[in-house]
A and B are shown apart, each in its own frame.
Chain A
Amino acid sequence: MVNLIIDNKPITVEDGATILEAARKINIRIPTLCYLDLGELKMVNKVASCRLCVVEVEGRKNLAPSCATPVAEGMKVTTNTKRVLFARRRLLELLLSNHPFDCLICAKSTDCELQALVWEFGINTQRYHGEKSSYPIDKTSQALKRDPEKCIMCRRCETMCNEVQTVGALTAFGRGFNTIVGPAELQPMVESNCVYCGQCVSVCPTAALTGVGYIMETWAALFDPTKTVVVQVAPAIRAAIGEEFGLPVDVPVTGRLAAGLRRLGFNAVFDTTFAADLTILEEAKEIIDRVRKNENLPLLTSCCPGWINFLEFHYPTLKYMPSSSKSPQQMMGTLAKTYYAQKIGVKPEDMIVVSVMPCIAKKYEAVRPEHCTSDARDVDYVITTRELTKMLKENGIDLRHMDDEEFDNPLGEATGAGVIFGAAGGVLEAALRTVYEEVTGQELEDVNFTAVRGLAGVKEAVIDLNGMTLNVAAASGLGNARKILENIKQGTSKYHVIEIMACPGGCINGGGQPYSEERMERIQERVKALYQIDSGKALRKSHENPSVKKLYEEFLGEPGSEKAHELLHTNYWY
């Protein structure tokens, strides 16, 4: 333990702690910008590049960046001297001098950490004038938007991309004033090895990295009388969108969300959770087949498009491992334009499918060429939780004052198993509920596989299926996935089924979710919300979903049937 004094307050902290950590313990607030510690998600960015957290340390010649300076015995720190405040203000003014001033029309306005600091500091004049960096905006990927002029070189995205996700798509280039973060050789994003997991977006303090927006396209579709516009909402949306309307965590928003979407003008409001149940049936069939034949194991889940991109770029030799089932989003898109379109007598080309996803990679997934079952894209536009919020607000829809409504049928009914897809470990748990009953023929009494829940990077469990042992694991965060994949490559993996989610914690922490200063608390709450919905459901096993059963009876035959394969399965690149 180390004793030190901050602003005349004595404090004892653990060895190796930073001044910033120590100060926060005694509620001394030091402004930060580049610094980020996502605790349980194991993402720490302390490159000390913005220097806004500088403090005075007695005996030290220059100011110390509190985020990266370890405490020392007897240290005397002052966080609010004239010298410190003067330096911080000038630094912020310098940062502004190379930042666009289009805050009013910036995608990040009111969610921008730079803007918030400038507001806090009360800066209302422009001290420095001079050359500003000028770079084109990169929207080539149709998923991730890169606007380098808004980059403040905090390097959070780099830390996330390289150290947490181990994707290695972003790095700093150039020198001095011309330094810029981007993909290799500053080539367009679409030509990079970016997997569009969107975690960089979720940590970017400004609008340097955001999602490519489809609000205008969606409005255009909604107001086009010749189109039937169908919307689907991913499980994780209901756990997060309430935040944007200031709703308390314990208020369920699923019904209000369905109502809000209907009010927006969608002709049918479907639930991706239905498709999640469907995914489980197809995937469970594959699991059982492969485990029984003991071939091509482990089976890797395939509902996360960021993870699939990662597999294709980094582990192309393992492309036979994932389940061939399409993701719930794409299953829903396909069914909407086939099964549902036929049912209501609309030509697929007259139907527009909009997805509301917590995700950036879903935007990319929707434009992949193989997802065109009926000559048009199965999913036309993917908007994020944040984009939907904006649309609702523009339309005057306040979820605080909405009454609950149900999703539309036939693609709107869901079980608790589908809902927990939104949290890391949820897909695996949902699959286990079905696999157990399929294999053993017995009813699963306790459906809660708690061992695979939570925010840990890798969770594992051993499941006894009446004599057949299933070793399963759930990894979230691509860095954790990489560790598991390396084991598979070396033949040392013991698992039969592995769920992989690109985002640490799963979809509830996706790159399209609402921004929050208290991100970790929000994530915990979102996880809790999903499991609450699950436990409150009468039906908690995908194979019990009546609408899914009906779909097989009317249209698909049985899980793994030829028709199911034609419509609900896909294959991977390389």
Chain B
Amino acid sequence: MPRITSYSELIDTCQRLKPLLDNRVNTDIQAGGKRLILVCSGTGCQASDSQQIVANFQELIAGKQLENTVQASITGCFGFCAKGPIVKVYPDDVFYVQVKPEDATEIFEGHILGNERVRRLLYDEPVLNQKVETQHAMFFYRKQMRIALRNCGLINPEDIDECLASGGYLALGKVLTEMAPETLIDEMKRSGLRGRGGGGFSTGKKWEFARHYQSEEKFVICNADEGDPGAFMDRSIMEGDSHSVLEGMAIAGYAIGAQQGYVYIRAEYPLAVKRLQIAISQARSLGLLGKNILGSGFDFDVAIKLGAGAFVCGEETALIHSIEGKRGEPHTKPPFPAQSGLWDKPTIVNNVETLANVPAILTRGADWYSAIGTKTSKGTKVFALAGQINNVGLVEVPMGTTLREIIYNIGGGIKNGLEFKSAQTGGPSGGCIPRQFLDTPIDYESLNSIGSMMGSGGMIVMSEKDCMVNIAKFYLEFTVEESCGRCLPCRIGTKRLHEILTNITEGRGTEADLVELRELSGVIIDTSLCGLGQTAPNPVLSTMNYFWNEYEAHVKEKRCPAGVCQKLLCYEILPEKCIGCTACARSCPVGCISGVVKQAHLIDQYKCIKCGACMTRCKFRAIIRQ
């Protein structure tokens, strides 16, 4: 395709390409016409051989010479990663899960040729306890509202035509032709979009600050250094719809007066890097990046900077240092990057999800966007659902959706019918939300008020089988590992917090430790240099606030109520159930079980290493764990 040299030419091109997506957008078109098989090619599904699935479909289609009526192609992440690889058939809206390469034949012959759905591969809806026929019928998708993820699972991310067919770059065209930077910033402010990386700062205001500072050079940085354990929305967006991020960056560049953008992405995301590279070169060749974009006189280009995978490099000043080739550690703000950022020039750092929202907002207007969500938090938020929940994956819901809706409706409830105990949001900086807040509408403020935070949208669901002290320890372990080591409270304080928690989970905790946990947490929050340290004790404090009884049980009774903390477990043989088969004694690696054949056995608690081998071995449920 030749360079697109004006906004009107772009509109024409998009119109011309629009039919490409006809049978995907209008799923009510009945089978019989052209069919499209989309196979998820996100990192998760690719790891389960989804590329082979596409290849198999393509071979089958070629074998029957059906290229004109059936197509098989890759697409971005559907967000339903736990059940991948996903295969979607359009226009039938049929959603196959856990497809193996060899299943291609069955789908092709049964569904494509025979018009019979392969029921075996349909999703078994936990809420209804039955197979669902279409994607729209799945609870996982019914309540979702996909703005940032709008093109993921819809278009082929490596084909800019499909991006344009979905209206890609129209917002950039509109902005460059019809809006002054100030108007654009006003529109963004009015939309109420706030940073999706964790801070929740108004995107429009951030741009306004950067615009305000005069400088010959300014920079736009896309923060793609996604690091929260369990969060992968940014990766999915970049893998499934890189263009939306590039478009958002170009718009931001126009708003603040920058001509160069950098995507700071971790090297552990090779597929996202590859897709970004493809998207950048495609956009350049069409004149959507580079010099004189769409004939507007605006120049903007994007380069990729690979990060080495340090969590702290998600902090904007650390990220900037890393791009500059320095050690990735934060510095004290002010100065804020908007004033003095990359190479000391005004710089904005926006998260991937934030930028992906930008084109949608400008296409449909601030009013449309600000009508979604709550009073202070507008639009939607992508959450990465994980943990003890049936539907694990990415969900995008309007701000203000309750935890209950996300967990019990979209998420399909707790695994194995267990009781919900807590939801951890905000990654290692967040907190654990207990049962009583299940009906709280989620937004930035409400999460803060209940001791957690939005963060980048990780949501880990815990059941009655999870020990909250152990969970706090787990998150602390992460921050101890990922602290940059610059400031004292984070470098040594988090380490000591972790050590105290370890002592508690191993039965060495004292009541003084509980006091110390709170006090030290307070000091770390109060004195740490950057957000990492300032929020690191959140998991400790929130679990102490809401699950105090568990801490007390660990310290006072040396007991782990959830039965997780190994050193506190106690294995006992119930004499009335033990038949004296000796299986347990034979399986014990430290020989701490004694007893005579056909008589009840006994565990020596001093010698027992709590490995649980005896309990696994016992066929008579005579061994219990307390």
Contact = CB atoms under 8 A, between A and B. Distances in A.
A98 B492 contact: yes
Contact of B519 (A50, A63, A90): A90
A91 interface: yes
B488 A177 contact: no
A172 interface: yes
Interface in A294-311: none
A153 B493 CA distance: 14
Q: Which size bracket describes the interface of B in this complex? A: 20 to 34
B564 interface: no
A97 B529 contact: no
B484 A94 contact: no
Contacts of A62: 525-528, 534
Contacts of A49: 486-488, 529
A49 B332 CA distance: 9
B511 interface: no
Interface stretch (A65-73, A117-125, A456-464, A517-525): A65-73
A178 interface: yes
A175 B496 contact: no
A176 B523 contact: no
A179 B485 contact: yes
A70 to B, nearest CB: 6
A177 B523 contact: no
B482 A175 contact: yes
B496 A128 contact: yes
Contacts of B310: 175
Contacts of B496: 94, 97, 128, 130
Contact of B523 (A69, A70, A87, A130): A87
B327 interface: yes
Contacts of A535: none
B480 interface: yes
A49 B529 CA distance: 7
B494 interface: yes
Contacts of A153: 485-486, 488, 491
Interface string A31-62: 00000000000000001111110100000001
A230 to B, nearest CB: 47
A70 B525 CA distance: 21
A152 B488 CA distance: 8
Given A48-B529, A51-B489, A177-B495, A86 B481 contact: no
Contact of B334 (A70, A86, A131): A70
A95 B488 contact: yes
Interface string B461-472: 000000000000
Interface string B425-458: 0000000000000000000000000000000000
Contacts of B485: 153, 172, 174-179
B499 interface: yes
Nearest to B311: A175
A83 interface: yes
A171 interface: yes
Interface string B498-516: 0100000000000000000
A176 B483 contact: yes
Contacts of A69: 332
Contacts of B332: 48, 65, 68-69
A176 B488 contact: no
B579 interface: no
Contacts of B592: none
Contacts of A90: 519-520, 523
Interface in B325-351: 327, 329, 331-332, 334
Contacts of A52: 488
B480 A94 contact: no
A86 B489 CA distance: 13
B524 to A, nearest CB: 9
Interface string A159-177: 0000000000001101111
Interface of A: 47-52, 54, 62-63, 65, 68-70, 83, 86-87, 90-91, 94-95, 97-98, 128, 130-131, 152-153, 155, 171-172, 174-179
7 closest A-B pairs (Cβ-Cβ)?
A179-B485, A176-B483, A68-B332, A130-B499, A177-B495, A51-B527, A90-B523
14 contacts: A48-B529, A49-B487, A50-B487, A51-B488, A51-B489, A51-B528, A62-B527, A65-B332, A87-B526, A94-B488, A155-B486, A175-B310, A176-B480, A176-B484
Given A51-B528, A54-B526, A178-B485, 13 more contacts: A48-B331, A49-B488, A50-B487, A51-B488, A51-B527, A65-B332, A83-B526, A86-B523, A95-B492, A130-B496, A153-B491, A175-B310, A175-B483
